[in-house]
Structure 1
Amino acid sequence: MAVPTHTVTNQVPPLVAYDVYASDPALTEGVARHAAPERLDEITSELSELGRSAGSAQAQRWGEEANACSPVLRTHDRYGHRIDEVDFHPSWHRLLGHAVSAGLTTAWARPDGHLRRTAGFITWTQAEAGHGCPLSMTHAAVPALRAEPSLAAEWEPRLTSRTYEPELMAPGAKPGALFGMGMTEKQGGSDVRANTTRAEPLAEEGCYVLTGHKWFCSAPMSDGFLVLAQAPGGLTCFLLPRVLPDGTRNPFAIQRLKDKLGNRSNASSEVEFSGTWARRVGEEGRGVATIIEMVAATRLDCVSGSAALMRQAVAQATHHAAYREAFGGPLIDKPLMRNVLADLALESEAATTLALRLAAAYDADGEHERHLRRIAVPVAKYWVTKRCPAVAGEALECLGGNGYVEESGMPRLFRESPLNSIWEGSGNVQALDVLRAMQREPQALNAFLVEIGQARGADHRLDAAVKDLLTELGDLEGVEARARRVVERMAVVLQGSLLVRYAPAPVSDAFCASRLGGDWGTAFGTLPHTLDLAAVVDRARPVVE
């Protein structure tokens, strides 16, 4: 019923029916920069198709439904048999199936595979972030499995398949498979060497039975898991299938699903093993060294996932400000709002540019690239994931009260934003890993310095920041207590170097003036007013045709 007092005016149209990929210059230019020229047209077409899907009303509805209807644990069937299955809303399966069919688990099997996948991950998870967990685990399991060639030969074709099959069945009967991971236990947390889960060897070579628990087990509906357990020779990595080769269920008791702040569409669980069959991956006692390749790959996904969240937050904020009228004109034209939006856009572009550079380092895989990855991945994981909640919160405020309402989608972004800073090692773990890399692998630090040095002389503020960083790195007294400060400076200097080399002048100038030059306050929206902020905002705003 129409009511005379309820005429709807000055409300912003939804950001829908747009190409998430093509409307992001930082993303498209990064792909063009790092992709092989002969494959660029193919990659662009592939990512634009994914971008149109991600920006569709259908995908947005899937994301809303998957989060509104959280996973449900079913421990037993109607007759009392233990089944330990997790039920998901159909929209979760649609999101995950679309991602698998788009190749978001196939990076290891394609040329420019990591660049394609990282750009696709940033694009597609803007529709919904929670289902990125099994995508990430499945992708990251491949390099760990390669420590045991026979297992890799058996499982890698399933993990890199573009066929999504959600039903649990014998591995040999599945055209495609998903993987999860279980490392964390109650008593140890990040200290996995304190794990108490036991692995007892069987007569068959490489086979064991596990007994113990996992406090966090990711994606419990998966077909297989990489887990750590104490074998006779020490902490060891194992492949644990949910269904045994003969089709019977492996003992895998899901005790409960975690009730989390965000990431509601995704199931995280506590599980118990009791006589659970598993196969060894790598040598006994080398569990951390074996699984670290999986950890490194998922840490890059933490960077990419945070970049996706930031990009979607900035897209929503700039879109809103372009359509919302206040105080005599569009919000986007108001100097102070423009300052806030530009500041958010800088953080988003810096995160995307860094994520793509690291993805390209996986594809190139030369000596410099391997050493750079060793130190730059934890640096980026530390910093980009820390910036994500601040960006999501400020972007939400740009929508005012509307941003605080669930229908806007901003609360879901905000709840999701802290996750990646905790997943795969919190901030302290990342900072200490960077120190470990500098102390044990000096080639890694040298590769980092070579990388940032490629922009030498291009901006005096960057040059000064590099000089200050070298002074910081030259003083190792009390370095553990200063680790966060050191890693933060490494991150912003690396981002500054990349933006100076690759971004338009208004973007790199604003980044260096604020993040490196010290002309910046403690909140977003404190950029120097003399900068070309309109150009920065125009670049960040998604275009809806």
Structure 2
Amino acid sequence: MFRVGSRRVQRLVNGRLRNTAAEVQSVVQELNSSNVSLPFSRANIGPFFQDQPRLDNQFTQDITLKTYLKRHVPKQFLAEIETDLELFGGRVATDIYDLSLRCEREPPYLEHFDAWGKRIDCLVTSPAWQKLHDISAEEGLIAIAYERKYAEWSRLYQMCKLYLFFPSSGLYSCPLAMTDGAAKIIESIQDKTPWLMERAYRRLTSRDPSQFWTSGQWMTERKGGSDVAGGTETVAKLQPDGSYTLHGYKWFSSANDSDMAFTLARPLDDDGSTIMGTKGLSLFYLEVNDENGNLNNIEVQKLKNKLGTRQLPTAELLLDGTKAFKVSEDGRGTAAISNMLMLTRIHNTTGAAASMRRIVNLARDYSTRRQAFGNVLKNYPLHVQTLARMEVETRAACLMTFEVSRLLGREDVDVASEHEKQLLRLLTPLAKLYTGKQCMEVVSEGLESFGGQGYIEDTDLPKLLRDCQVLTIWEGTTNILSLDVLRAIAKSKGKALQSFHEDIETKLASAADNGDLKTAAEKVRQASGTILQFAGKNASSLEFAARDFAYSLSRTYMGSLLIEQAASSYASESDVYTAQRWCEKDLTPVSSHFSNSAYTQDATDSNFSLVFDGYLHPSRL
């Protein structure tokens, strides 16, 4: 409140004085002589500024992550891993986060020509982006997994570190995902291509910034992303020295400042023909620049103008005689990239869980600072209820991420059982598709918790939502991955689904003596049985039901992970409460929709009629 010195001043402020020029001047003189201060006058814009949310150490705050590590990592490794994660958790909230903000302010751009008209296609990135390259090497964000210093837990350690890094990475996490996948490919084919271990693998896994390489993944062409068998038009022409030249157009290629790339192409036979479909695809290794530092017969046509991930250079590339080397058997290109796809999907899952954790942490802190209607937000039960629901989703996503990473680590060092391999194959597409959807919901809700500030670009909050949208698209959309889940089950002749069921039973057994978890455990057990029964009796409906089926598998497995965590000796009351709340939801939407006749031919026809009701071009149907 402020005070004014006279009745005339009060009348002016209250609008009850005829404001002639002379009267106003007289009042102003009176105010100046009496040293009365009015708000919002001249340069005074008021004393209040909203306190922004603040990041603390992102590892020490993460109870779910810390508990999971304590449950699984042997004590001889745990202390060293935790120490590094705590140090890194501080960095991602400070200097690394500042670099990510700079990457957003300084997006990449393309210089097609030099001052004299020569085509150079020079990609210019922010110094902050280049610094993130060096940090990625120094922190071992790829190296950790391949040094295998911590045996089977090396991969889990690496993914936990990437999980902390992702929201502050300025999207440098994208080239790291493809680099990780490239290293995995080279490691898997080293017996056939030993030269690649020296040429590329040692650089992809280096901790020396001057040696560290990143890799691209150039699979998407104009005809579409997931359908590489029908969409790949790039051809490969054999050269006398055994290399190939590639000729094609890559329509969506991310991280174009990478040093190398793997790509699919169709080798030409002696008649200049190719084999169409999957059987005609082979995998090729190429380096982006030649020995003189010039582009390897690659023309960068344009940079993509994207909804999000603006920090990340994504381009359309014309390959016009690009030198490359075939590294798979003829017709085995898609099989050869399976390791890369598995890893990039797990990276995608990690990014989704990390984004959820970041927005929840920010919203939680903001609730202790923002006052409305006479109280801070944390004192309003409805607001805390909303944050709690976000927290439940986040913890489930995090546990799914860590569990898949743990299984991959066992496969890395060849100690995974056949049961675990089948489980990993099934869980990878499930984790990617479901966490992508969770992320969009949680981050959107998180922005809403900031009110209008959540919509202001200057706060750095909208970027989280824009960047998260790609996580439902990269490495396969929800429907594509749902069908991949069915392929995993079919290819294993049902063994993957049986492994899924058995693993859930094992996890639930840990809660057998916990009365607080009895109801939740029984619901998950019933859900797992329902899924098995549905798959057995409704094989003909599975493709139509694939999305709901994948959701049912995901929710049920996440329920078992939450219960297992809540039943451990490291658990808190919050872990128990999280498991209880998660299991209140419909764990098997596939069963619920089936009961409503959602997968019948009549439903198919009705869906089509509904979607195209009023469509003005029936000739195209």
TM-score between the two structures when normalised by the length of structure 2: 0.78
> What CA deviation, in whole Å up to 9, does each residue of 1:419-450 have, x standing for no partner?
11100111111111000010111332222222
Q: 1:222 aligns with which of 258, 270, 274?
A: 258
Q: Are positions 1:47 and 2:74 aligned together?
A: no
Tell me what 1:454 maps to: 506
Q: Do the aligned residues in 2 keep the contact of 1:113 with 1:363 (CA within 8 Å)?
A: yes
Q: 2:50 aligns with which of 4, 11, 27?
A: 11
**Which deviates the most, 477-486 or 451-460?**
451-460
In 2, the alpha carbon distance for the partners of 1:220 and 1:483 equals: 35
Q: Are positions 1:156 and 2:214 aligned together?
A: no
Q: Do the aligned residues in 1 keep the contact of 2:553 with 2:588 (CA within 8 Å)?
A: no
Matching of residues 39-438 of structure 1 within 5 Å: 39-56=77-94, 58-106=95-143, 107-110=145-148, 111=150, 112-145=153-186, 146-147=188-189, 148-150=192-194, 151-165=196-210, 175-194=211-230, 195-205=232-242, 207-232=243-268, 234-245=280-291, 249-365=295-411, 366-367=416-417, 368-438=419-489
Tell me what 2:33 maps to: none
In 1, the alpha carbon distance for the partners of 2:483 and 2:170 equals: 28
> What CA deviation, in whole Å up to 9, does each residue of 1:88-123 have, x standing for no partner?
111122223212211111212223221111111110
Q: Do the aligned residues in 2 keep the contact of 1:85 with 1:221 (CA within 8 Å)?
A: no
SS of 1:210 mapped into structure 2: strand
SS of 1:284 mapped into structure 2: coil
**Following TM superposition, by how much is the alpha carbon of 1:39 offset from its aligned partner in structure 2, in angstroms?**
0.7
**Following TM superposition, by how much is the alpha carbon of 1:333 offset from its aligned partner in structure 2, in angstroms?**
2.4
In 2, the alpha carbon distance for the partners of 1:158 and 1:419 equals: 28
Matching of residues 474-485 of structure 1 within 5 Å: 474=536, 475-485=538-548
Q: CA RMSD in A?
A: 1.9
In 2, the alpha carbon distance for the partners of 1:378 and 1:517 equals: 18
**Following TM superposition, by how much is the alpha carbon of 1:246 offset from its aligned partner in structure 2, in angstroms?**
6.3
SS of 2:39 mapped into structure 1: coil
> What CA deviation, in whole Å up to 9, does each residue of 1:289-309 have, x standing for no partner?
001110110000010001111
Task: Tell me: CA distance 1:3–1:64, structure 2 relative to 1, closer, same or farther (3 Å).
Answer: farther
Q: Do the aligned residues in 2 keep the contact of 1:236 with 1:283 (CA within 8 Å)?
A: yes
Matched residues, number: 505
SS of 1:188 mapped into structure 2: coil
Letter in structure 1 aligned against 2:104: N
Task: Tell me: CA distance 1:250–1:332, structure 2 relative to 1, closer, same or farther (3 Å).
Answer: same
**Following TM superposition, by how much is the alpha carbon of 1:515 offset from its aligned partner in structure 2, in angstroms?**
5.0
Runs of 4+ in 1 over 6 A off after TM superposition: none
> What CA deviation, in whole Å up to 9, does each residue of 1:484-535 have, x standing for no partner?
00000000111100000003211111111235499xxxxxxxxxxxxxxxxx
Task: Tell me: CA distance 1:33–1:290, structure 2 relative to 1, closer, same or farther (3 Å).
Answer: same
**Following TM superposition, by how much is the alpha carbon of 1:129 offset from its aligned partner in structure 2, in angstroms?**
4.7
Tell me what 1:29 maps to: 67
Letter in structure 1 aligned against 2:316: E
In 1, the alpha carbon distance for the partners of 2:263 and 2:524 equals: 43
**Following TM superposition, by how much is the alpha carbon of 1:76 offset from its aligned partner in structure 2, in angstroms?**
2.7
Tell me what 1:532 maps to: none
In 1, the alpha carbon distance for the partners of 2:533 and 2:48 equals: 57
SS of 2:526 mapped into structure 1: helix
Which structure is richer in relative contact order (CA contacts within 8 A, separation 6 or more)? 1
Q: Are positions 1:468 and 2:530 aligned together?
A: yes
Letter in structure 2 aligned against 1:15: R
Q: Which runs of 5+ in 2 are unaligned?
A: 1-36, 269-274, 513-517, 567-574, 590-621
In 2, the alpha carbon distance for the partners of 1:98 and 1:515 equals: 43
In 2, the alpha carbon distance for the partners of 1:506 and 1:19 equals: 25
In 1, the alpha carbon distance for the partners of 2:500 and 2:47 equals: 54
Q: 2:582 aligns with which of 504, 511, 516?
A: 511
Tell me what 2:496 maps to: 444
**Following TM superposition, by how much is the alpha carbon of 1:158 offset from its aligned partner in structure 2, in angstroms?**
0.2
Tell me what 1:526 maps to: none
Q: Do the aligned residues in 2 keep the contact of 1:138 with 1:159 (CA within 8 Å)?
A: yes
Task: Tell me: CA distance 1:478–1:12, structure 2 relative to 1, closer, same or farther (3 Å).
Answer: same
Task: Tell me: CA distance 1:360–1:3, structure 2 relative to 1, closer, same or farther (3 Å).
Answer: farther
**Which deviates the most, 441-450 or 259-268?**
441-450
In 2, the alpha carbon distance for the partners of 1:20 and 1:308 equals: 10
Q: Do the aligned residues in 2 keep the contact of 1:129 with 1:416 (CA within 8 Å)?
A: no
> What CA deviation, in whole Å up to 9, does each residue of 1:217-272 have, x standing for no partner?
12111100000000147200001101235655411111111100000100111101
**Following TM superposition, by how much is the alpha carbon of 1:162 offset from its aligned partner in structure 2, in angstroms?**
1.5
Matching of residues 491-530 of structure 1 within 5 Å: 491-503=554-566, 504-514=575-585, 516=587
Task: Tell me: CA distance 1:247–1:394, structure 2 relative to 1, closer, same or farther (3 Å).
Answer: closer
SS of 2:202 mapped into structure 1: helix
Q: 1:490 aligns with which of 553, 562, 581?
A: 553
In 2, the alpha carbon distance for the partners of 1:105 and 1:3 equals: 59
Q: Which runs of 5+ in 1 are unaligned?
A: 166-174, 519-545
In 1, the alpha carbon distance for the partners of 2:483 and 2:355 equals: 26
> What CA deviation, in whole Å up to 9, does each residue of 1:46-65 have, x standing for no partner?
11111100111x33322122
Q: Do the aligned residues in 1 keep the contact of 2:99 with 2:170 (CA within 8 Å)?
A: no
Q: Do the aligned residues in 1 keep the contact of 2:193 with 2:327 (CA within 8 Å)?
A: no
**Following TM superposition, by how much is the alpha carbon of 1:377 offset from its aligned partner in structure 2, in angstroms?**
0.3
> What CA deviation, in whole Å up to 9, does each residue of 1:26-48 have, x standing for no partner?
12222222323211111111111
Q: Do the aligned residues in 2 keep the contact of 1:346 with 1:507 (CA within 8 Å)?
A: yes
SS of 1:215 mapped into structure 2: strand
In 2, the alpha carbon distance for the partners of 1:67 and 1:416 equals: 11
Task: Tell me: CA distance 1:275–1:495, structure 2 relative to 1, closer, same or farther (3 Å).
Answer: same
Letter in structure 1 aligned against 2:203: R
Tell me what 2:15 maps to: none
**Following TM superposition, by how much is the alpha carbon of 1:136 offset from its aligned partner in structure 2, in angstroms?**
0.7
**Max radius of gyration: which structure?**
2
Tell me what 1:536 maps to: none
Q: Do the aligned residues in 2 keep the contact of 1:231 with 1:285 (CA within 8 Å)?
A: no
Letter in structure 2 aligned against 1:34: H
In 2, the alpha carbon distance for the partners of 1:265 and 1:61 equals: 13
In 1, the alpha carbon distance for the partners of 2:564 and 2:480 equals: 30
Q: Do the aligned residues in 2 keep the contact of 1:383 with 1:491 (CA within 8 Å)?
A: yes
Letter in structure 2 aligned against 1:217: S
In 1, the alpha carbon distance for the partners of 2:434 and 2:38 equals: 50
Tell me what 2:58 maps to: 20
Task: Tell me: CA distance 1:247–1:481, structure 2 relative to 1, closer, same or farther (3 Å).
Answer: same
Q: Do the aligned residues in 2 keep the contact of 1:219 with 1:268 (CA within 8 Å)?
A: yes
Identical amino acids, percent of aligned pairs? 31
SS of 1:513 mapped into structure 2: coil
**Following TM superposition, by how much is the alpha carbon of 1:470 offset from its aligned partner in structure 2, in angstroms?**
2.1
> What CA deviation, in whole Å up to 9, does each residue of 1:129-170 have, x standing for no partner?
5111111111111121232432234311100012234xxxxx
Q: Do the aligned residues in 1 keep the contact of 2:504 with 2:525 (CA within 8 Å)?
A: no
Q: Do the aligned residues in 1 keep the contact of 2:246 with 2:319 (CA within 8 Å)?
A: yes
In 1, the alpha carbon distance for the partners of 2:450 and 2:561 equals: 31
Q: Do the aligned residues in 2 keep the contact of 1:183 with 1:228 (CA within 8 Å)?
A: yes
In 2, the alpha carbon distance for the partners of 1:63 and 1:360 equals: 28
